[in-house]
Amino acid sequence: MSMDANALHVDVVGHGPPLVLLHGWAMHGGVFAPLVECLRGHHTLHLVDLPGHGASHDSAVPLALEPCVEAICAQVPTAPWCGWSLGGLFALHAAATRPQRVPRLAMICASPRFVRDGDGDWKYGVSKDIFRDFATGLREDYRGTLERFVALEAFGSDHAKDELRALRQQLFARGAPTAHALADGLSLLETTDLRAVLPSLPAGSLWLGGRRDRLVDPRAMRQAAADAPAARFHLLEHAGHAPFLTHAREVAAHLTGFLRA
């Protein structure tokens, strides 16, 4: 079935108050399957495939903050947004610019700035070279580079083998993401800095970090939560970068507790 070029694929699952879930780089909404099983009895979940990813492979929506958030808002009801990794940038931008549509925000292993800055006032990010190396790798060895990225996502977790297996299974489950979407996503991760929106963030927010995460330092998330009003930070002691795969019940408990409060 063809899709409107200006639309995105959104799976709707479960029953109860709505919740929007946004995946990370190179993935799609299906990656949240373990978390969906824990939440579908409590929430109607709107699982978005970002442009160029999954079933939104042919979407003409640019993988940029404002166009993407606008497209998502056109397809989902007023609801809290939960973003994982790259998806967190879209969720945070939406909560900052559209508080009437996004009344609450949850960030899973996501930061307002993913890289360290030159003057050293944001020391918890990764080196820009990581994203530039992946960009170079995509041109030389597309699949091998994606495999290296999911290995980095799983690295450090107490359940690294299980997490890596799950990420590999999902990576191409809805087809390969487009090359231009992957490049645009890396650029967003390298250049976006949303720290300035935190002090005036209208939405209450939840920040879930993994102690063993090698991509998003949980100290960056703790700092972001400290800079935002009405924010909660929780550290998942044995989790890596994708805690909803290995600690789905714990993540679900934090989300439902936050959204009910």
What are the pLDDT digits (tens) for 4-29?
778 999 999 999 999 999 999 999 99
The rounded distance, in Å, linking the Cα atoms of 185 and 249 is 29
152 or 250, greater pLDDT: 250
Q: Specify burial of residue 260 (Cβ count, 10 A radius: 0-12, 13-18, 19+).
A: exposed
The rounded distance, in Å, linking the Cα atoms of 88 and 249 is 20
Confidence of residue 258 (pLDDT cuts 50, 70, 90): very high
**Per-residue pLDDT at 51 exceeds 70:** yes
Confidence of residue 3 (pLDDT cuts 50, 70, 90): low
The rounded distance, in Å, linking the Cα atoms of 258 and 247 is 17
Q: Looking at the chain, which runs of residues are DSSP E strands?
A: 10-14, 18-22, 44-48, 81-84, 104-108, 204-210, 231-236
- As annotated, the active-site residues are 85, 213, 241
| Residue whose tokens read 């890396």 | 186
Neighbours of 206 (CB within 10 A): 24
**Among 87-91, 93-97, 130-134, 240-244, which is the least confidently predicted range?**
130-134
Longest distance between any two alpha carbons in the chain, whole Å:
50
**Per-residue pLDDT at 91 exceeds 50:** yes
Q: Is the pTM of this model over 0.75?
A: yes
**Per-residue pLDDT at 39 exceeds 90:** yes
Q: Specify burial of residue 80 (Cβ count, 10 A radius: 0-12, 13-18, 19+).
A: buried
- pLDDT above 90 coverage of the chain, percent: 83
Confidence of residue 37 (pLDDT cuts 50, 70, 90): very high
Angle between helices 179-191 and 86-97 (to 10 degrees): 60
Residues 112-162 pLDDT 10s:
999 998 677 888 999 988 888 998 998 889 889 999 999 988 888 888 899
pLDDT reported for residue 130: 87
Confidence of residue 1 (pLDDT cuts 50, 70, 90): very low
The residue-averaged pLDDT of 187-207 equals 96
**Per-residue pLDDT at 111 exceeds 90:** yes
**Per-residue pLDDT at 174 exceeds 90:** yes
**Per-residue pLDDT at 199 exceeds 50:** yes
